[in-house]
Structure 1
């Protein structure tokens, strides 16, 4: 896998490059601002992009804006966004771009090396990965009364779906059978008024669409 990193924190950028290199993932370019990210993607044609939400000069939304631009120029390009905090507006905007893998993780997850690399690979394969804290805040937003009808277990299943987990992974995580997972998912779609759909990040995005993403 070949990736481009857009991160203005030199220590974090260098750490990511060393980490990914140790896992056989080639970092073809590291940049520190939005225009440089666009140029690097055009030049190298990476398999995925890792971008900070906030980049110079204003440190507001340059990173996610640049990520959206490269996805428009290169449809389906997988993008994994890193942020210091849960910023729901940016999460919703990125996730509204339906084509290709997408992820939104908090920066403190990077320290969980194995999980971070797994998440990046999942995004590169076209999946969806959301930080559990992002999921929790999206689910807590106004106007989603349908969620009130979900049981505690169904909310756990929904959160894992939003992180890109398949049925088997959900079952292993919650220590329940495949049949139980299938039943929970069916109940979730029924209670949210969403038609059942098989597998992949499309199922996740359908749920997130209901949540206002």
Structure 2
């Protein structure tokens, strides 16, 4: 797996590179600002780009803008964005209408190597990897008139785990229930959120979370 890392803070950048290399990932480029990140993505065309949201030159959402441009112009490159704080708008912009090959992690998770490596691997495989803490806070936040009001507490647990990119088997293991039980919950969730049977199963799983973020 080939990865480009975009991070302007030296210690954080070196930490990410070390974690990835120890996991057998080939870090083919590093970038310290958004223009450099775009250039590195075009030059190396990696499997995944990791980008901090706030990067030079403006130290605002430059990294996110670069990540969005990469997704728009080089759609076969997966993108994992690191955020210092929970920003629901950033998550919505990043996922957009194409939930495949995208990850959103709180920056503090860099301290947990397996979480970072797992997210990069899932995104490289064309899956989504949304930070469980981010999803939990968003899913549990009360929304007036939201279709999620109709979900049971257990169904909310399942949505949270779906948003992380887990399969039905993975959800069953996390909740210590059977796979058929999870399948029943997933079917109920799709029905309550008005997601059609004609939608691809994997796409509906992420649409379920997007439906909440956009409500």
Q: Tell me the TM-score range normalised by the shorter chain.
A: over 0.9
Distance, in Å, in 2 between the alignment partners of 1:103 and 1:146 is 25
Task: State the secondary structure of the residue aligned to 2:85.
Answer: coil
Equivalences for 1:28-177 in 2 at 5 Å? 28-98=28-98, 100-139=100-139, 140=141, 142=143, 145-177=146-178
Q: 2:193 maps to what in 1? A: 192
Task: Name the SS for the 2:115 alignment partner.
Answer: helix
CA-to-partner distance for each residue in 1:8-48, whole Å, 9 max, x for gaps? 11001011111111111011111111111110011101010
Find runs of 4+ consecutive structure 1 residues off by over 6 angstroms.
none
Matched-pair contact (CA < 8 Å) for 2:68–2:94: yes
Gaps of 5+ in 1: none
Judging changes above 3 Å, is the alpha-carbon distance between structure 1 residues 176 and 122 closer, same or farther for their aligned structure 2 residues?
Answer: same
Cα 1:144–1:167 shift into 2, 3 Å: farther
CA deviation string 1:127-155 (max 9, x = no partner): 11111232134333745521111111110
Q: How many residues align?
A: 212
Range with bigger deviation, 104-113 or 132-141: 132-141
Matched residues in 1 for 2:97 and 2:206: separation?
10
Q: Calculate the aligned-residue CA RMSD, in Å.
A: 1.6
- Cα deviation digits, residues 85-144 of structure 1 (max 9, x gap): 011111100010516400000011122212221121011101111112321343337455
Q: Which runs of 5+ in 2 are unaligned?
A: none
